[in-house]
Chains A and B, each alone.
Chain A
Amino acid sequence: MSHNQESGVEALSEKYADVPRLIILKLDLQRRGITLSDAAADATCTPYYRGPEVTAFSTKETAVRPLPGPILLRDGTSVLTGPTDSTLLKPYTVDYIDGKFYVYDNGERLDEVDFSPRPEFYGKLTSRGVPMESIAWSRPQRLDLYPYRYCHYWDTREQCKFCGFFTDLKTQKQLAGDSYAKIVHPEDLFETVREAIKEPGRFSQINLTAGTDYSGEVPFENEVKRYVEVLQAIGRNFKTRRFPSQLIAPAYSKQQVKRLYDETGLSSYCPDIEVWDKELFKWICPGKEKWYGRDYWIKSALDAVEIFGKGNVYTNFVAGVEFVQPHGFTSIEQALDSNFEACEYFSKNGVVYLSIVWRPGRGTGLAGQQQPPLEYYVRLIRGLVEIRKHYGLASDNDDFKHCGNHGDSDLERLN
């Protein structure tokens, strides 16, 4: 697949007139990443925007210029992207001129953008003295919590090949224990959420994710127990039984999922399939293949619909890794067929199959691999939304304002 003659945002928004230019821009901001000009970096360090000094992923190095929250496009779409210094990816530049941020491509101004502002709980400590900003990270309308900062797939080098979570992105090693605690105390989570939701209108969803811990007499038992405790602690903050929330976690047995539903206020469950094709799943996600393979992951998602209800179970895939060589697809049509087949299957069974744009991170097993062209992502999100619409599915838990990862759920704003 040669990308030398790739079409950019403007050409593709003319070719695909039914896909908003802003959403195509979002896809490419995610695909290529960004760099901040000095002026933009300075502006994001002002009190209105300043990001967390310490995060769930922080190493001992102090962040001199902490990264701000996600980008916001003019239509309110949040964009989860990040700085990249890779010349291979040709990142966009964000500059700050006359009090506004703009995104540039090769010196050409494309649009005005903004960054998610700093929430009021950053800078505060829990009663145990833990910085709240190391417990929760703020997206424009979502609070992200990482109760367990270690993935045991890495112990046996069976981590997902695209993953760089909880590493310093250089040494490819899990950092918990050396740089930060592995387990977050449920009371710190309770207090952080309590503080965060005092800010009027700031959050409308809580998301939990973590590394995988398959330990326990029954596999994953310790992890499920931990999530129950954590969700119960968070739930003490709400007057309603259920609260808007999502757990991104491994595939659990039906009993384990039922326990999470019955004993906590969780409202949505998301076991990520990552890549649909059977052989690619085995190769790219060896840990998931071992505990307990693609069919188990699919069954877990489908079973969870009986518990959480249609549209409240999600599964994300990392769009683009299906092209990774030497085993990946070599044509866009193959990749689209595979993902549309997956979307059709999941949608028919009440599960939302959502795309995430893959950007090969430094320090991941796929660094240096080539991404598919932007046009692939445009065609992909159009197709996914059509299929889900046909089955009456919406992605409220992962929409334009809550996540920032999914161009396909952004398009659902008109459905």
Chain B
Amino acid sequence: MSKLPEELIALLHDTGSIKVIATIDGEGHPHVVVKGSLTTLDNETIVFAEGLEGSLSNKNLVRSIWFDKKVAINITKGLTSYQVKGRPYKYLITGSVFRQLLDRARERRGAEADIAGVWVITPEEVRNESPAVRSSLAREERGLFHSHLDLLRHSE
């Protein structure tokens, strides 16, 4: 498994970044939720805590690990943004990583906070979605054809 980009690792560790995960249900309909606990512990895989066994998101993740479906994750702070597509590899209901994320949940949300389990996602595709990076890539590929001309004119 390869290491995630440094910038993405920093975003994953940053408690101020926004982290969301998209899953699909049995009919193929997408479902997106914010996952504040999403992080990396080994700089290779992504982990997050699931709060409820019966949540729609969790059922979709179970379906994904059972029937080999992908999930998509986005991590954003300010103008820096990454998308990761991958597959659920493990669901932890006990053990040291489970405990680590439970402890974090209780630190963040108070002593009454609880989690049902911890998902481990194996990334398969990492994409820098920061607007500046995407624009410059688009310009490299397609030139200036989609730029608004007011942005290209001489300043007066």
Residue A401 is within 8 A (CB to CB) of chain B in the complex: yes
Contact A116 B65 (CB under 8 A): no
A408 contact set on B, CB distance < 8 A: none
* Pick from A21, A76, A117, A202: contact of B91, CB under 8 Å: A76
Q: How far is the CA of A140 from the CA of B66 in the complex (A)?
A: 20
Q: How far is the CA of A78 from the CA of B93 in the complex (A)?
A: 9
Contact A114 B95 (CB under 8 A): yes
B103 contact set on A, CB distance < 8 A: 200
Contact A22 B94 (CB under 8 A): no
A202 contact set on B, CB distance < 8 A: 94
Q: How far is the CB of B73 from chain A (nearest CB, A)?
A: 19
Contact B106 A200 (CB under 8 A): yes
Q: How far is the CB of A321 from chain B (nearest CB, A)?
A: 29
Residue A141 is within 8 A (CB to CB) of chain B in the complex: yes
Residue B77 is within 8 A (CB to CB) of chain A in the complex: no
Q: How far is the CB of B48 from chain A (nearest CB, A)?
A: 14
Q: How far is the CB of B93 from chain A (nearest CB, A)?
A: 5
Q: How far is the CA of A1 from the CA of B92 in the complex (A)?
A: 39
Interface centre among B67, B91, B94 (most CB of A within 10 A): B94
B115 contact set on A, CB distance < 8 A: 201
Q: How far is the CA of A117 from the CA of B99 in the complex (A)?
A: 11
Q: How far is the CB of A298 from chain B (nearest CB, A)?
A: 30
Question: A117's closest neighbor in chain B, by CB?
Answer: B95
Contact B114 A75 (CB under 8 A): no
Residue B96 is within 8 A (CB to CB) of chain A in the complex: yes
Within 8 A of B (CB), among A113-152: 114, 116-117, 140-141
Contact A401 B93 (CB under 8 A): yes
Contact A20 B66 (CB under 8 A): yes
Question: Interface on B for A, CB 8 Å cutoff?
Answer: 26, 53, 59, 62-63, 65-67, 89-96, 98-99, 102-103, 106, 114-115, 117
A76 contact set on B, CB distance < 8 A: 90-93, 117
Q: How many residues of A contact B (CB 8 A)?
A: 22
Within 8 A of B (CB), among A252-286: none
Contact A201 B66 (CB under 8 A): no
Q: How far is the CA of A114 from the CA of B94 in the complex (A)?
A: 11
B98 contact set on A, CB distance < 8 A: 201
Q: A201-B98, A201-B102, A201-B115 are in contact. Are A414 and B63 (CB under 8 A)?
A: yes
Q: How far is the CA of A202 from the CA of B59 in the complex (A)?
A: 22
Q: How far is the CB of A25 from chain B (nearest CB, A)?
A: 11
Contact A22 B96 (CB under 8 A): no
B96 contact set on A, CB distance < 8 A: 48, 117
Contact B102 A141 (CB under 8 A): no
Q: A75-B65, A201-B114 are in contact. Are A413 and B92 (CB under 8 A)?
A: no
* Pick from A21, A72, A117, A200: contact of B102, CB under 8 Å: A200
User: 1/0 contact trace for A96-125 toward B, CB 8 Å?
Assistant: 000000000000000000101100000000
A23 contact set on B, CB distance < 8 A: 66
Q: How far is the CA of A201 from the CA of B92 in the complex (A)?
A: 12
List 14 interface pairs A-B (beta carbons < 8 Å), by A numbering.
Answer: A20-B66, A22-B66, A48-B96, A75-B62, A76-B90, A76-B91, A116-B94, A140-B93, A140-B94, A141-B93, A200-B99, A200-B102, A201-B115, A401-B117
Q: How far is the CA of A114 from the CA of B89 in the complex (A)?
A: 13
User: 1/0 contact trace for A188-231 toward B, CB 8 Å?
Assistant: 00000000000011100000000000000000000000000000
Q: How far is the CA of A21 from the CA of B94 in the complex (A)?
A: 22
Contact B62 A72 (CB under 8 A): no
